[in-house]
Chain A
Amino acid sequence: MLNTLPGHHAQAGFSLLELAIVLLIVGLLMGGLIMPLSARMDQQKIDTTRQQLEQIRQALVGYALARDALPCPATPASSGLASATATGCTRQHGFVPAVTLGLPGAQNGDGLLLDAWGSPIRYSVTNSDANGNGNWDFVRPGEMRTVTLASLAPALDICTTTTGSSATACASSATTLTSNAPAVLLSLGKDWATATSADQLENLGATVGGGPSGVNYPVAADEVFVNRTLGAQAGNEFDDIVTWISPTTLYGELVSAGRLP
């Protein structure tokens, strides 16, 4: 756009060499910028999902304070509502009952709350019944009080590895992060459609369908979950994000609210 007036010398322009050098430099710089950006976007999604799980955890505790029990998990057929039965839940392992909890966030066609990668966030609740009366202690209103603090025994396990674990316990106390979680929240992470490591397969579990969309979703198959450092090492990948409700915190809040003992 320079030198367009008559009487000036004609613009010589850039030589091919000049252009090549400039493009090379620009390319290198852009590359340097984009690489950390993609890693940053992954991290951003992890952070977003962690915050989401934290928000759900607080909503669950809030629900327990207001309703005297934790909500049941949603199923693909329950449109995001907690799916309870007369004594417990339709499913022990299901999804976050986002509609019941009034949580914001994207939902899929089956009303299931989605994480940052678009897969439903899963929610499991303990089915412990310490006094053997058939009622699940943590989901039937008032049952925690009936059972009493000293007897309550929530039984979801979080292990640091699936190696040696059974359907109800981790391999040893050293690999047990907690053996008495009342509820567990889990996002399958970035590669939610594929799971290659044993630890991820443990969390992937079985499948459940029955929703209007006809999709079958992976859902926990037993009371053992794995939570460990995220890693991408081939054969030992782990990208699941797991959080749980501490029984101590839950009891403390319920005591403060006069719900216990």
Chain B
Amino acid sequence: MFTRSHTPYRARQRGAALLIMLLLLVLGGTVLFSRSLLSQLPGAARARANAELLAEAKEALLGYAVTWDATHPGELGFLPCPDIDATGILNEGEAHELLCGLQHRNVLGRLPWRTLGLDPGRTRGGECLWYAVSGSWKAGAIASPALLNEDSSGQFRVMAADGTTVIAGTSAAERPVAVIIAPGPPLPGQVRLTLPAGVTQCGGSFTAASYLDDDAASGINNATVSLGADAVDDVIAADPGATAINDQVIFITRAEIQDRLLRRADVQAKLRSLTLAAARCIADYGKRNPGAPNDRRLPWPAPVDLVEYRTAAQYTDTPVGELSGRVPNVANDSNVQTGNLSLGVLTACNSATVPEWTPEMAVLWRNWKDHLFYAVAWDFRPDAPPATTCTSCLTVNGAGAWAAVVMFSGTRLAAAGQVRDEPPMNTDTRGNIANYLEGRNATSHPNTAGTGNYESAAASATFNDILYCIDANLSVTPC
């Protein structure tokens, strides 16, 4: 209730103007407020919607990586190339395997949504997603890496909006193997014209700089990737709702792909088969000696410490005076002593004589070759007298008399302190056999006397080597 004034002036007061003004103000304010509410989504809502889109793209990419080998046997975990253009022989949204940069170089383009079977999915700003893949993980027809396995490092680092805080990639193992970027609204200078033909779904162009941001303060440019091999590119991730740098980023690590791959029972079986096939190929070399079957000498191992672990030609038998090392691909030096005309161990192996050495195994070896190790017995080394029996031979768990042992190192074990980074991006940890093999399998190296005692056990947190043994008759058995 209100009390009324009885001043004489009150009589002239009609009171309507104020009320009308108030009404107009309230209504006008409501309209303006509602319009602003309706016309643009708040930054947080946009960020959430884009995050869902990015997550969906990530799931599809992970699915692609873990099923790629169904159509490309032996290639585990490869990621697709981006969509580079729509003017060539390929349609918009398809992975450009032929136009995917040079080997071991990062590539940036649009997300290959068509290849992934996805909707062209627009961000709340109406843009399609962008995608960059590490040179070490891309499935290019001519640009595939020379070796891709669980130890291949990604070539990205994701930085927070301040340009200095590392969100992902402080260590080589944590570096993302791919990043997916949702562009925000255009920044000054980002003109998004529809120029190329064939862009009917996403619109716009393939000019990354028109979509992805260049942070002058930190010098990180999301719109470019390095031209050099094995270069690591930084990607800056905007804070939700930010207006200066507005690229929203999600990333994939090698662990995410590997976790899914190793859940596949058949992957473990394939790697075991690779070890068996490699052992059979080494035994097959002994069967091709000129004096066979009375000369069963086996090739020298390849060195543990290589200049470049990805190059197959590096896996060459070099007489380093050691009787253990990596499984040799090429036999240059063993031949001098054995007189074997075959210049290859694995390269000369074929499925006609070794049925286990299938085309799939040859591809699998290319990608996992650094995981295979080999020790040869004193009596079966190339410069020994032609041998058919074992006197000075290898043992496993103190038993048996083996002409050779072939070992698959398995996944690196954190409990054993194993790291497997490689130059040129990182310091060389692959030259140390203890980063691959465990227990006596590592300590028996270099097996100078040719009578090493190797170790076999059930897989555990501290042991996961897989062993196959070659006996004096050149038969191969698990041991």
Q: Which residues of chain A have a CB within 8 Å of any CB of chain B?
A: 2, 5, 8-9, 11-12, 14, 18, 22, 25-26, 29-30, 32-33, 36-37, 40, 54, 148-150, 160, 173-174, 176-178, 180-181, 227, 243-244, 246-253, 255-256, 258, 260-261
B116→A25 contact, CB < 8 A: no
A150's nearest neighbour on chain B, judged by CB, is B70
B10's nearest neighbour on chain A, judged by CB, is A8
B67→A9 contact, CB < 8 A: no
Chain B binding surface, main DSSP class: helix
Chain A residues contacting B66 (CB-CB under 8 Å) are 251-252, 255-256
Q: List 24 A-B contacts (CB under 8 A).
A: A9-B11, A9-B12, A12-B14, A18-B16, A25-B24, A26-B23, A36-B34, A40-B38, A54-B52, A148-B70, A149-B67, A177-B114, A177-B119, A246-B63, A248-B63, A249-B60, A249-B63, A252-B66, A255-B63, A255-B67, A256-B66, A256-B263, A258-B264, A260-B67
Interface string of B70-96 (1 = CB under 8 A from A): 110000000000000000000100000
B478 at interface (Cβ–Cβ under 8 A)?
no
A246→B200 contact, CB < 8 A: no
Give Cα distance in the complex from A5 to B114, angstroms.
79
Contact check: which of A18, A29, A176, A255 meets B263 at CB < 8 Å?
A255
Q: Contacts A8-B10, A29-B31, A256-B263 given: A180-B117 contact, CB under 8 Å?
A: yes
A33→B34 contact, CB < 8 A: yes
A150→B71 contact, CB < 8 A: yes
Q: Contacts A14-B16, A160-B201, A178-B117 given: A149-B70 contact, CB under 8 Å?
A: yes
Q: Contacts A26-B23, A36-B35, A255-B264 given: A249-B56 contact, CB under 8 Å?
A: yes
A243→B119 contact, CB < 8 A: yes
Give Cα distance in the complex from A9 to B13, angstroms.
10
Q: Contacts A8-B11, A160-B200, A177-B114 given: A252-B119 contact, CB under 8 Å?
A: no
Chain B residues contacting A176 (CB-CB under 8 Å) are 91, 114
Chain A residues contacting B56 (CB-CB under 8 Å) are 249
Q: Which residues of chain B have a CB within 8 Å of any CB of chain A?
A: 4, 10-16, 20, 23-24, 27-28, 30-31, 34-35, 38-39, 52, 56, 59-60, 62-67, 70-71, 91, 114, 116-120, 198, 200-201, 260, 263-266
B118→A246 contact, CB < 8 A: yes
Minimum Cβ distance to chain A for residue B184 (Å): 20
Chain B residues contacting A243 (CB-CB under 8 Å) are 119
Give Cα distance in the complex from A177 to B200, angstroms.
11
B20→A22 contact, CB < 8 A: yes
Contact check: which of A32, A148, A149, A174 meets B31 at CB < 8 Å?
A32
Q: Contacts A173-B91, A256-B260 given: A33-B117 contact, CB under 8 Å?
A: no
Q: How many contacts between A and B, using CB within 8 angstroms?
A: 112
Give Cα distance in the complex from A253 to B263, angstroms.
11
B31→A33 contact, CB < 8 A: yes
Chain B residues contacting A160 (CB-CB under 8 Å) are 200-201
Give Cα distance in the complex from A2 to B12, angstroms.
12
Give Cα distance in the complex from A243 to B121, angstroms.
10
Give Cα distance in the complex from A45 to B28, angstroms.
27
A8's nearest neighbour on chain B, judged by CB, is B11
What 5 A-B pairs are tightest by C-beta distance, nearest first?
Answer: A252-B63, A149-B70, A246-B117, A248-B63, A150-B70
Q: Contacts A150-B70, A249-B59 given: A261-B266 contact, CB under 8 Å?
A: yes
Contact check: which of A148, A174, A260 meets B91 at CB < 8 Å?
A174
Give Cα distance in the complex from A11 to B13, angstroms.
9
B118's nearest neighbour on chain A, judged by CB, is A246
B67→A252 contact, CB < 8 A: yes
A161's nearest neighbour on chain B, judged by CB, is B200
Give Cα distance in the complex from A250 to B60, angstroms.
8
Q: Contacts A29-B28, A177-B201 given: A248-B264 contact, CB under 8 Å?
A: no
B38→A36 contact, CB < 8 A: yes
B16→A174 contact, CB < 8 A: no
Minimum Cβ distance to chain A for residue B8 (Å): 11
Which of B13, B27, B28, B117 has its CB near the most chain A CB atoms (within 10 A)? B117
B16→A250 contact, CB < 8 A: no
Chain A residues contacting B114 (CB-CB under 8 Å) are 176-178
Chain B residues contacting A2 (CB-CB under 8 Å) are 13, 15
Chain B residues contacting A251 (CB-CB under 8 Å) are 63, 66-67
A9's nearest neighbour on chain B, judged by CB, is B11
Minimum Cβ distance to chain A for residue B375 (Å): 34
Give Cα distance in the complex from A14 to B23, angstroms.
15
Chain A residues contacting B62 (CB-CB under 8 Å) are 252, 256
Which of A18, A40, A251, A258 has its CB near the most chain B CB atoms (within 10 A)? A251
Minimum Cβ distance to chain B for residue A45 (Å): 15
